[in-house]
């Protein structure tokens, strides 16, 4: 029974609209659940204001002021952690290298060809000249041929020799060259992961410390709204 203002339940039973539709919340699907917890907790408490409209205004104002902070707590509570691990480290090492090599080869050669020659041409010759001053009429051809009436004779014989000596020289040169390039790329990634208990605390100690961090965020919000209700019931 209300003594000073009006109990929250009468507003709810009379289908009074409390609002609570626009304050920021980390997950919209959770809004109805949180609103119901607030209503059930203060169901038999009298509002701390003279009129329902003023109460509604202050209630929605308060929710808009406190929910950004509590939304962060809700988000952090969703993080998945291993309470028995004291170390969770991942190290990534990357190495990139590039090796380039160049090679040049050259081959050259020189060739000489020398021919020596020596040739000799020899020619033998002989010549006989005969002269007779006897009247041709008194001699016969056979007598002349047989040197019967020969006045004089000249014999000319000898040898012609021609010698050729020399050297033929020829020279050739050849050059062969080439260039080669070798390029190698190396990409290496190494990941080192360390996770578990490094011995700083026992598993039971870790569990106890983890339990101490549990937060009932809904009740923290509800407690912040206590100032909107009368402290006498």
In a domain? residue 233: no
In a domain? residue 94: no
Q: List Cα–Cα distances, 78 to 27, 70, 74, 106, in angstroms.
A: 12, 13, 7, 72
70 and 106 share one domain: no
Q: Has residue 181 got a pLDDT over 50?
A: yes
171 and 217 share one domain: no
Two structure tokens written together for 120: 């000799």
Range of the domain at 159: 102-185
Strand pairing report for 87-131 and 152-196: antiparallel
Whether residue 59 contacts residue 18, with contact meaning beta carbons closer than 8 Å, is answered with yes
In a domain? residue 191: no
Q: Has residue 217 got a pLDDT over 70?
A: yes
Dihedral pair phi/psi, residue 215, rounded to 5°: -125, 135
Report DSSP letters for 102-125, one per residue.
EEEEEEEEEEEEEEEEEEEEEEEE
- Under DSSP, the state recorded for 11 is H
pLDDT digits (tens, 9 = 90+) for 120-163: 766 666 666 665 555 444 555 555 555 555 566 666 666 667 77
Whether residue 68 contacts residue 174, with contact meaning beta carbons closer than 8 Å, is answered with no
Numbers of helices and strands, H then E, in the chain? 6, 2
| Average pLDDT along the chain | 79
pLDDT digits (tens, 9 = 90+) for 20-71: 999 999 999 999 999 999 999 999 999 999 999 999 999 999 999 999 999 9
- pTM of this structure: 0.48
Domain count, the chain: 2
């Amino acid at each position: 029974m209300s003594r000073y203002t009006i109990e929250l339940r009468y507003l709810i039973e009379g289908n009074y609209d409390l609002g609570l539709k626009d304050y920021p919340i980390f997950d919209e699907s959770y809004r109805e659940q949180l609103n119901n917890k607030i209503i059930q907790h203060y169901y038999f408490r009298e509002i701390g204001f003279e009129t329902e409209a003023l109460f509604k205004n202050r209630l929605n104002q308060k929710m808009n002021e406190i929910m950004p902070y509590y939304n962060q707590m809700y988000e952090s509570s969703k993080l998945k952690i291993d309470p028995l691990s004291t170390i969770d480290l991942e190290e990534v090492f990357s190495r990139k290298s590039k090796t380039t090599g160049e090679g040049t080869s050259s081959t050259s050669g020189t060739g000489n060809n020398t021919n020596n020659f020596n040739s000799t041409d020899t020619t033998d010759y002989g010549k006989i000249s005969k002269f007779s001053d006897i009247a041709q009429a008194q001699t016969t051809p056979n007598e002349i041929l047989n040197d019967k009436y020969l006045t004089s004779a000249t014999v000319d014989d000898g040898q012609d020799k021609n010698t050729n000596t020399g050297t033929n020289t020829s020279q050739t040169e050849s050059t062969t060259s080439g260039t080669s390039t070798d390029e190698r790329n190396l990409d290496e990634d190494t990941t080192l992961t360390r996770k578990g208990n490094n011995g700083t605390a026992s598993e039971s100690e870790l569990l106890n410390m983890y339990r101490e961090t549990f937060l009932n965020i809904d009740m923290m919000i509800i407690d912040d709204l206590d100032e909107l209700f009368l402290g006498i019931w």
